Chains A and B, each alone.
Chain A
Amino acid sequence: MTAWAKPAATEPAAGNQHLAVATSGLGKQYTRGLRARSKWALRDCTLEVPEGRICGLVGANGAGKTTLLRLLVGLARPSAGDVQVLGQRPSDSGQFLREVGYLAQDIPTFRRWSVTDHLRMGAALNPSWDAVATRERIQSLDIPLDQRVGTLSGGQRAQVALALALGKRPRLLLLDEPVAALDPLARRDFLSTLGAAVAEAEGHLTVILSSHLVADLERICDHLIVLANSRTMLAADLDDVIASHRVLTSTRRDVGPIDRQHTVLRVEQTQRQTRMWVRLEGPLTDPTWDSDELSLEEIVLSYLEYHPPADADRGPGITNVAHLGGVS
């Protein structure tokens, strides 16, 4: 074990205890024809995202990431449960849409339009448009304003779309796998621009960013949501996540005592050794276990492979949500 200091819990900005997003039992169902059974794209989703966070949304493909984001911006209506975004239900009104920015997965743009045309559209459709800052942001990335968007590189197009979404100065920004198709340099540039925008906003901009590249999320995010099988596995501050997840190693023995006190995500047992990936629900009282930190990637993988026990609704297993640390 290293002797480095443990990370302090992130303190929210002074006086800013508001929630950007709060969902309760949120679900979305798609019907396929009249006779086929309907599929739940998202089920029993209960989570909270405090304001000012950059929140990573992780999950396998089809886990419900896109569905959740579309529900938050109002492009889809919930089949069950409740969702509150910036204190109100998503509605088809200028007043709500002004505050929420959205970047869809395929980055829709008008391919034949120039960058300037897109900026013009932003100015025409958004009363709170910041024309000067948006143009500067794009020019500082050396993107030519008169070029057709269809001929830009993937990274440049993503940056233009990001600038468009930020241009109306939203309070919440939802990004659906914006960097999935970008090369590492373009990815880095995109996340830099995003982080800089959040820094500039000084706590007034919340970002939810879905991705399956955990390394990126580790750097830029301070909050994490994990979805698997259309359910919420985890929703907590990143520091708390890292601090509370451990891999316990010991000579082969019974997992019962640990299982009763903490949440076991995965167990590997060989003839000689027992290894358990756990989420600590309290202090680890048994010193005979070797406890090692887990990387975020390993933590996320454990959740993606995790299958809650059949009686998950009773007992200490993960039901649908894990609230850790100060998030209540």
Chain B
Amino acid sequence: MLVFRLTTHSSVPAYVQIVQQVRQALLAGVLRPGDRLPTVKDVVSELAINPNTVLKAYRELEQEGLVEGRQGVGTFALRRPDGPPPAAQAALTRSLERWIGKAREAGFDDAGMESLLRTCLMSSADEAIA
């Protein structure tokens, strides 16, 4: 069963976090096409957030064509989003976990790691343009 986790006080709105986690789950194969997503009620029970937040996230996923809502039954995954194949995803996840371990040992905290990632993304985007 897919369990969501929310980072409070993040600049990322809650509904976006849910959208991202559903996408990640689809990419990693944890959620497969045809699987049912957690009901709004279950997500709210787990996270104590507003139901509209979950509805908004599911609506956005529906607009992207990743999920389909069926009245009275639930919301179901439709397809895997474009992205690296599961094997590549798994490999990258493992190397990322190793990197995180090393960064922690070196003294980085989560915020530091995030900003480092952002900086690298921006500079690699610049390189791509250049």
Do A and B interact directly, with beta carbons closer than 8 Å? yes
Identify the A interface with B (CB < 8 A): 2, 4-5, 7-8, 10, 54, 188, 191-193, 195-196, 198-200, 215-216, 218-222, 293, 295
Give residues 8-23 of B contacting A (CB, 8 Å): 8-9, 11-16
Given known A-B contacts A199-B41, A199-B51, A215-B8, A7 and B46 have beta carbons under 8 A apart: no
Asked whether, in the complex, the Cβ of A195 is within 8 Å of the Cβ of B13, the reply is: no
In the assembly, what is the distance between CA of A54 and CA of B52, in Å?
9
Asked whether, in the complex, the Cβ of A195 is within 8 Å of the Cβ of B52, the reply is: no
Min CB–CB distance A166 → chain B (angstroms): 14
Q: What residues of chain A lie closer than 8 Å to B41, measured between beta carbons?
A: 196, 199-200
A195 to chain B: closest residue by CB? B44
A238 to chain B: closest residue by CB? B50
Given known A-B contacts A4-B11, A295-B9, A196 and B50 have beta carbons under 8 A apart: no
Which label, helix, strand, loop or mixed, suits the secondary structure of the B interface? helix
Q: What residues of chain A lie closer than 8 Å to B120, measured between beta carbons?
A: none
B49 to chain A: closest residue by CB? A219
Asked whether, in the complex, the Cβ of A195 is within 8 Å of the Cβ of B9, the reply is: no
Q: What residues of chain A lie closer than 8 Å to B124, measured between beta carbons?
A: none
- Cross-chain contact of B56 among A2, A8, A188, A216 (Cβ < 8 A): A8
Asked whether, in the complex, the Cβ of A196 is within 8 Å of the Cβ of B45, the reply is: yes
Q: What residues of chain B lie closer than 8 Å to A215, measured between beta carbons?
A: 8
Min CB–CB distance B98 → chain A (angstroms): 27
Asked whether, in the complex, the Cβ of A192 is within 8 Å of the Cβ of B50, the reply is: no
- Cross-chain contact of A4 among B16, B45, B48 (Cβ < 8 A): B16
Min CB–CB distance B57 → chain A (angstroms): 11
Beyond A191-B48, A196-B45, A199-B44, list 14 extra A-B contacts (CB 8 Å). A4-B13, A10-B56, A188-B48, A192-B44, A192-B47, A192-B48, A195-B45, A195-B50, A196-B41, A199-B40, A200-B41, A220-B50, A222-B50, A295-B9
B122 to chain A: closest residue by CB? A3
A52 to chain B: closest residue by CB? B52
Given known A-B contacts A10-B56, A54-B50, A195-B49, A293 and B16 have beta carbons under 8 A apart: no
- Cross-chain contact of A5 among B16, B46, B54 (Cβ < 8 A): B16
In the assembly, what is the distance between CA of A107 and CA of B64, in Å?
46
- Cross-chain contact of B51 among A193, A198, A216 (Cβ < 8 A): A198
In the assembly, what is the distance between CA of A5 and CA of B15, in Å?
11
Q: What residues of chain A lie closer than 8 Å to B52, measured between beta carbons?
A: 10, 222
Q: Can you list 15 A-B contacts with CB-CB less than 8 angstroms, sorted by A residue number?
A: A2-B11, A4-B12, A10-B52, A188-B48, A191-B48, A193-B45, A198-B51, A199-B44, A200-B41, A218-B8, A219-B14, A219-B48, A219-B50, A220-B48, A222-B50
